Amino acid sequence: MSLDDLERLVDGGPKGQAAGRPIVVVIDDDAGIRNSLSRVLKAKYEVRTWPDGPKGVLGVDKNTSCIILDVRMPTHDGFWVGRQIRKKAPDVPIIFHSAYQDSKNPYEIINELHPYGFVIKGEKVAELLSLVHSAVKYSERLKDGRRSSGHLRAASETAMPAREKISSRPPRSSVPSRPRSATR
């Protein structure tokens, strides 16, 4: 039995989106940062951690509500990872979390990757938690809007044959028209 299975038994049900807990993905090569963020976030969110960019990109799915992404990592930096995530999940909020604030022109980052935020590691953990909270709320509103649009689209498609059937019938009149009298 895995630790996740044990936690499911203790919690009384499945974890993650099915249990109503938004998914936050942490991509960072530093195990200490991954573990610390996981401990801090796990009370409210299902936290999935990844030690590098390629694995992190594979770990992002349609249920991901927010990504905390390190900038400097071996093999691929956070900007490369951000581009790959944008191809796969263009609307998921990405929060860059880095010890290096001067690694790239901030305007280039904003214009190309549209991050939800940028937080310096080791400073203002409350700011990071606040950003994660608002990013998750934003993401959940987007998902709710997509679900509503899908329901409306399905209802419209279901109603279409009935609409076509009604419009193809000749008009019916329940009251016969009376001829107008010539004198008034």
Instruction: Indicate the domain borders of the chain.
Output: 17-143
Furthest-apart CA atoms within the chain: distance in Å: 98
DSSP bridge pairs for 97? 119
pTM: 0.70
75 HSE (CA, 13 A, CB side): 9
DSSP bridge pairs for 49? 26
d(CA 98, CA 100): 5
Exposed / middle / buried, residue 121 (Cβ in 10 Å: 0-12, 13-18, 19+): middle
The answer to whether residues 41 and 132 touch, using CB atoms and an 8 Å cutoff, is: yes
First to last CA, the chain: 94
> 158 falls in which pLDDT band (50, 70, 90)?
confident
d(CA 29, CA 123): 18
Give residue-wise pLDDT tens across range 11-45: 444 444 445 799 999 999 999 999 999 999 999 99
CATH class of the domain comprising 17-143: alpha beta
Give residue-wise pLDDT tens across range 52-102: 999 999 999 999 999 999 988 988 988 899 999 999 999 999 999 888 666
